[in-house]
Amino acid sequence: MTRISTNMPSIDSQYYLRRQEERLANVQSQIGAQSRLLQLRDDPLAASHAVRYESYLARLERFENNTLYSQEHLNLTDGYLRQTNDILQRLRDLSVQGANGVYTQQDMRYMAVEANELLKELVSISNALGPDGRQLFAGDRAFSEPFRVIEGVVEGSEEPMIAAVEYRGAGASRKAEISEGVYGELDLSGGEAFWAEKMQVFSSFDASNYRVANAGAFYIDGQEITVNTGDTARVLASKINESAAPVKAYIDPETNGLALEGTSAHLIRVEDASDSSVMRDLGVISTTAETGAPNWNSSAKVSGGSVFDMVIRLRDGLFRGDTDFIGTQGIGGIDLALNNVQKNLAEVGSRAERAAQTWTRINEEIPNVTASLTRETGLDFAAAATDLSMLDFAHKAALQTASKVLSTTLLDYLR
């Protein structure tokens, strides 16, 4: 026989009312959070899928921002290169006119003055700033001007003019992750964008008996090349040729020194690793602590000029009125500069197009991943609203029933 106390109906009613309130609060929380998964135990399998979808969606959004930034950055670079191309086209027109031999000396001087002004504009373009305050063509040294102007006296001019333009930047190394584990190149260094001739560097150091004293490394155009103790100069040349650097190396048969030759028109960058001195020992780069280009050894023979060298050469020829020089080296130098700028325009355009295609693909993928995430965590609001209404009605009915069943008060015990 079960003994029923007068307190049991009250305890049972409170227990079931609390359970009803918990279900009601759970539905309200789901509606507020707009998700049917409030805790992992609600649906462990769906929760595990949702975590992976959310992580992948966050990465896609980051890739979308990176590709958008890449497009803007590359389009800006493309615009400056197009301006450079237009200026060089005008300089070529001047060189063709100057080579005709029908203009007076004063006319040639006028052409030279225009060429000098166009040279100034080229320097301004090469030191252009992006909207983020970074130098567009400085490579790693994004907060310092990549090109330094050296003024001097030019024959035929009455005032100091630009005598040389030196590149003080570094190589381009910034990349943006535009897809999972895939990186797109952002920058184009000034040593690539504003170069005209293939460089050649000839060391005067006789490397016939040279041997590497300690294992280490050096860098050619940013490519690391490791060396071992006892490596000869010929072994080093072979390692350079086997690397991804656009440089061909060999031993000069006349001086027995190491020679470097660019396979494309660009400024060759050579650096020793912090624990190595191979390139300094071979007389390729300076023994001073200065790094960056130009850092050639003073005894090394270096050839291969920049776009600015070609324009300066043309301007000086116009000041002298040397039609033969203008018609050969003047036009030839501008043509080399034009060819390299147009090659770089194609490269930058290709990078921008790739970034645009990647951005399109990501924007098609994001809705698909979002739909998968919604399928796992999404709440059916119609069903939730119906459940909320039913639970609210049941809760109110339970309260009314309990108020009638549990009507005993202190006065009932005093009767």
Cβ 67 vs Cβ 355: under 8 Å: yes
DSSP letters, 13-43, are HHHHHHHHHHHHHHHHHHHHHT-S-SSGGG-
Residues 101 and 166 in one domain: yes
Output phi, psi for 152, to 5 deg: -165, 180
Q: What is the overall mean pLDDT for the chain?
A: 84
Percentage of the chain exceeding pLDDT 70: 76
Does 323 have pLDDT greater than 70?
yes
Confidence of residue 399 (pLDDT cuts 50, 70, 90): low
Tell me the per-residue pLDDT of 343-361, one tens digit each, with 9 for 90 and over: 999 999 999 999 999 999 9
Residues 313 and 296 in one domain: no
Tell me the per-residue pLDDT of 324-346, one tens digit each, with 9 for 90 and over: 999 999 999 999 999 999 999 99
Q: How far apart are CA 15 and CA 12, in angstroms?
A: 5
Residue type, 401: T
Residues 70 and 178 in one domain: yes
Residues 318 and 284 in one domain: no
pLDDT of residue 62: 92
Confidence of residue 55 (pLDDT cuts 50, 70, 90): confident
Residues 360 and 211 in one domain: no
Residues 101 and 83 in one domain: yes
Does 406 have pLDDT greater than 80?
no
Cα dihedral value 80, 347, 116, 138, nearest 10: 70
For the record, the structure tokens of 403 come out as 């108020």
More confident position, 108 or 385:
108
Residues 71 and 176 in one domain: yes
pLDDT of residue 193: 93
Does 217 have pLDDT greater than 80?
yes
What per-residue string of b and e applies to 27-49 under the rule 16 or more CB within 10 Å gives b? beebbeeebbbeeeeeeeeeeeb
Tell me the per-residue pLDDT of 9-24, one tens digit each, with 9 for 90 and over: 666 666 666 666 666 6
Confidence of residue 52 (pLDDT cuts 50, 70, 90): confident
pLDDT of residue 233: 94
Asked whether residue 134 is assigned to any structural domain, the reply reads yes
Percentage of the chain exceeding pLDDT 90: 52
Asked whether residue 266 is assigned to any structural domain, the reply reads yes
pLDDT of residue 198: 94
Asked whether residue 230 is assigned to any structural domain, the reply reads yes
Asked whether residue 103 is assigned to any structural domain, the reply reads yes
Residues 288 and 263 in one domain: yes
Does 275 have pLDDT greater than 60?
yes
Domain total in the chain: 2
Q: What is the CATH number of the domain that holds 173?
A: 1.20.1330.10
Helix ranges (H only) for 34-158 are 44-98, 105-126
Residues 217 and 240 in one domain: yes
pTM summary value: 0.78
Asked whether residue 165 is assigned to any structural domain, the reply reads yes
pLDDT of residue 27: 60
pLDDT of residue 117: 94
pLDDT of residue 23: 67
Tell me the per-residue pLDDT of 285-320, one tens digit each, with 9 for 90 and over: 987 645 455 689 989 999 999 999 999 999 999 999
Q: What is the CATH number of the domain that holds 278?
A: 3.30.70
Cβ 36 vs Cβ 42: under 8 Å: yes
Residues 278 and 246 in one domain: yes
More confident position, 284 or 392:
284
Best-predicted range by mean pLDDT (4-13, 350-359, 398-407):
350-359
Output phi, psi for 176, to 5 deg: -120, 135
Q: How far apart are CA 172 and CA 191, in angstroms?
A: 9
Maximum distance among all Cα pairs of the chain, rounded to whole angstroms: 134
Residues 168 and 256 in one domain: no
Q: How many angstroms separate the Cα of 361 from the Cα of each of 230, 347, 352, 365? A: 51, 21, 14, 6
Q: How far apart are CA 240 and CA 48, in angstroms?
A: 50
The residue segments making up the domain with residue 331 are 59-184+305-365
Residues 296 and 315 in one domain: no
For the record, the structure tokens of 75 come out as 């389009």
Least confident residue range of 42-46, 61-65, 126-130: 42-46
pLDDT of residue 171: 75
Asked whether residue 257 is assigned to any structural domain, the reply reads yes
Asked whether residue 53 is assigned to any structural domain, the reply reads no
More confident position, 129 or 28:
129
Domain final position from 265, 286, 303: 303
Confidence of residue 113 (pLDDT cuts 50, 70, 90): very high
pLDDT of residue 168: 85
pLDDT of residue 372: 74
**Residue whose structure tokens are 């990186």:** 183
Domain final position from 249, 273, 303: 303
CA contacts within 13 A on the Cβ side of 364: 6
Task: Collect all residues with Cβ–Cβ distance below 8 Å to 380 and sequence separation of at least 6.
Answer: 36
Report how far Cα 381 is from the mean position of its chain's Cα atoms. Answer: 44
